[in-house]
């Protein structure tokens, strides 16, 4: 067997199936993940559209078009990717962009996907440029270019791929290059959940976990879950612990109140760090504006966590606003913390919409 054929065989056999991505995931969280669209709570418009696209693809006996999932952490992007695979009756392979270091890592996976399968890349905005360019041809032509040999003997070989569906997920859509994002045929924006949707999620999770929770306690817990199913399920597990140790095993409103107080979470879903961020802007920077890097240093939080986890919810709830000069608190933040507001809060100049 010649050297070129050996290199090609090594490439095809070097699949990097990121089972560690699933193994490291919370097993309890995986149990709570819905498997089909009908079990996925909330995001009704998104579900209705996906149902149409999936049904049409199945009737044509074609893979679903490449799908781009956009939304803050914990809203169900990974769950939706699994649901797409289940609805299509297809195999799914999962990885995250930081786990793909070299072109051969991505090529190994792509050359081992099966016909009609789903390939899920989480945090796709962190994909390296060389890997991103490899995806362009794979998404459009279902082929990849691979250089075999070195020096004057080097040549490019185009390797055909089975037709597959790429599902990319990101918390930062603006960081994904236009050439990549434009190659996705389906774009799904996942929004924060309202309290009724979160209540449905909590009710379903409680049944799966065999936790008895009062109806009023469900609504109370939904208000504290900052519009995020992952947080709702995490808090439900913690309240189950409080109920079994200091109660009779039933999650009631007093148990929710006690648990939230112990965890430092208020009825608006704000955690201690949320209030610390607002207080820091008010007391250290006179309500702002202050830059993200300066603020992250002041509160001892990574800038990624600040921008991806804390800020979206604070902005959505009206406690924080972004301006060209930096972050600023609103009058609502002063009222929340009980701090007198000494400056004019009606100046909306420079707010980014």
Catalytic residues: 77-78, 122, 171, 230
**What is the largest distance, in Å, between two alpha-carbon atoms of the chain?**
80
Which DSSP letter does residue 307 get?
I
How far is CA 305 from its chain centroid? 13
How far is CA 333 from its chain centroid? 27
CA atoms of 17 and 134, how far apart (whole Å): 18
Encoded tokens for 82:
């699994």
Tell me the β-bridge partners of 186: 67
Q: Are 328 and 288 in contact (CB under 8 A)?
A: yes
Q: Residue ranges of the alpha helices (H) in the chain?
A: 3-13, 19-23, 27-32, 44-60, 77-88, 103-110, 129-141, 178-181, 195-209, 215-223, 229-246, 253-263, 272-285, 292-299, 303-305, 311-316, 331-337
End-to-end CA distance of the chain: 62
Tell me the β-bridge partners of 301: none
CA atoms of 211 and 203, how far apart (whole Å): 9
Q: In sequence order, what DSSP letters do the residues of 312-331 get, joined into one string?
A: HHHHHTTSEEEETTEEEE-H
Nearest in space to 71 (alpha carbons), one of 313, 320, 317, 235: 313
- Sign for the CA dihedral angle at 287, 289, 291, 292 comes to positive
């Amino acid at each position: 067997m010649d050297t070129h054929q050996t290199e090609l065989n090594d490439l095809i056999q070097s699949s990097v199936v990121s089972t560690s991505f699933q193994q490291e995931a919370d097993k309890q969280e995986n149990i709570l993940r819905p498997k089909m669209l009908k079990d996925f709570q909330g995001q009704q418009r998104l579900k209705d559209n996906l149902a149409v696209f999936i049904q049409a693809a199945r009737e044509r006996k074609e893979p679903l078009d490449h799908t781009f999932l956009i939304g803050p952490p914990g809203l169900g992007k990974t769950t939706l990717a699994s649901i797409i695979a289940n609805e299509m009756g297809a195999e799914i392979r999962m990885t995250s962009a930081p786990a793909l270091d070299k072109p051969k890592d991505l090529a190994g996976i792509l050359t081992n996907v099966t016909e009609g399968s789903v390939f899920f890349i989480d945090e796709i905005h962190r994909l390296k440029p060389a890997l991103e360019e490899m995806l362009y041809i794979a998404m459009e032509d279902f082929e990849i270019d691979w250089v075999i040999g070195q020096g004057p003997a080097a040549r490019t070989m185009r390797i055909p791929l089975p037709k597959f569906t790429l599902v990319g997920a990101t918390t930062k859509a603006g960081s994904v290059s236009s050439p990549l994002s434009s190659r996705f045929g389906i774009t799904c924006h996942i929004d924060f959940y309202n309290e009724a949707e979160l209540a449905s999620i909590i009710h379903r999770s409680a049944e799966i976990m065999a936790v008895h929770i009062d109806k009023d306690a469900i609504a109370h817990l939904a208000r504290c879950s900052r519009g995020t199913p992952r947080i709702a399920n995490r808090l439900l597990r913690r309240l189950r612990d409080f109920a079994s140790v200091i109660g009779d095993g039933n999650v009631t409103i007093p148990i929710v109140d006690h648990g939230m107080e112990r965890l430092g979470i208020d009825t608006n879903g704000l955690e201690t760090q949320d209030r610390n961020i607002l207080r820091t802007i008010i007391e250290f920077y006179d309500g702002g504006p202050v830059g993200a890097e300066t603020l992250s240093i002041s509160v001892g939080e990574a800038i990624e966590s600040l921008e991806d986890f804390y800020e979206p919810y604070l902005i959505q709830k009206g406690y924080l606003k972004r301006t060209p000069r930096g972050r600023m608190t609103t009058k609502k933040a002063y009222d929340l913390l009980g701090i007198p507001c000494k400056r004019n809060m009606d100046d909306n100049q420079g707010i980014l919409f």
